[in-house]
Amino acid sequence: MSTQATTATDFCMPSLGADMEEGRITEWLVHPGDQVERGQIVVIVETEKSDIEVEVFEPGTVVELLVGEGELVPVGTPIARMGPVGAAVRPARASAPAVEPTPPPAAREPTPAVPPPSPRPTAPTAAHVTSPIIRHLAVELHVDASTVRTTDGRVHRDDVVRAWQEAAR
């Protein structure tokens, strides 16, 4: 009789290139409690060269996301905790808290005490920053990425999907 493991395992930041030492979590495509299939894309990681979709190699359940979007972590760092499909899962290290995104390092020179502008959608410009993955998604959905409204000048997956949904109305 085989027994299915009920403890979670770490899903680590993969090495996505021979010279990759660290990667930034751009977007999680799953949430805790989600069931995932082998080959399913679960996270988009930004490297020095491009944004890369990362897939899981085993089916299972997302137990916990350990690294927040925007956080830069070294290769080999646990970024999520995965458990078996459909099983009640206890994290392997129950006392380990989820990692909160690290704020960017403070500037070395003092800055004037002026409040930052509130985020608001930007007007479409030719200077929109897009990754190859986002450009591919825009092409698949027949959305002109250069016309997508963003909150930070960088076109994200949600921005393209929102533009596609608005065009469908």
> What's the pLDDT tens digit per position in 20-47?
889 999 999 999 988 999 889 999 998 8
- Three-state secondary structure readout of the chain: CCCCCCECEEEECCCCCCCCCEEEEEEECCCCCCEECCCCEEEEEECCCCEEEEECCCCEEEEEECCCCCCEEECCCEEEEEECCCCCCECCCCCCCCCCCCCCCCCCCCCCCCCCCCCCCCCCCCCCECCHHHHHHHHHCCCCHHHCCCCCCECCHHHHHHHHHHHHC
What integer pLDDT is reported at residue 124 of this predicted model?
Answer: 43
Confidence of residue 94 (pLDDT cuts 50, 70, 90): very low
Interval 106-150: pLDDT, tens? 545 555 555 555 554 444 444 456 677 777 778 888 888 778 887
Q: Between β-strands 22-28 and 41-46, what pairing exists: parallel, antiparallel or unpaired? A: antiparallel
pTM of the predicted model over 0.85: no
Structure tokens that stand for 121 in this block? 């959608």
What integer pLDDT is reported at residue 133 of this predicted model?
Answer: 76
